[in-house]
Amino acid sequence: MKTLTTDSFEIAYETYLHNIGKLILFDYKFVWSEMGFRYIVKYRL
C-alpha cells in the first residue's frame, strides 16, 4: 500500500484521480492553522 499525505489539495486530488481503481482512502484532517489541512490518499501499489 502507498500513502501520500500532503498539504496540497491539488496534489491529493491528482493522486486520487490517477489511482481511483486502487483507492483505499481519500480523506483530510485539519492540523492547525499554520499547517492547515493534510490530505491523505491511500492506494494499493
Partner 1 sequence: MKTIKQALKSANDGKNQDIKSKFVAQHVFANVNSLVEYCLKNEDPNSPINFDMIENYWFYPEFNGHFVKFDGGSEDKKQEEIERAESLLELGDAEFTAEDQALIQDELQCLKDLESEPSEIFEWWLISDYLFDKLRDKGYPIIDFSNGYLWGRTTTGQAILLDGIISHICAEMGILEGQENAWL
CB atoms within 10 A of CB 15: 20
Return d(Cα 37, Cα 21) in angstroms, integer.
25
Is 17 a binding residue for partner 1 by CB under 8 A? The answer is no
Choose among 11, 7, 10, 13: nearest CA to 32.
7
Q: Which is nearer to partner 1, 11 or 20 (CB)?
A: 11
Rule CB under 8 A: choose which of 22, 24, 31, 44 binds partner 1.
Answer: 31
Please tell me whether residue 25 binds partner 1 under the rule CB under 8 A: no
Binding site for partner 1 (CB under 8 A): 2-8, 10-11, 30-36, 38, 41
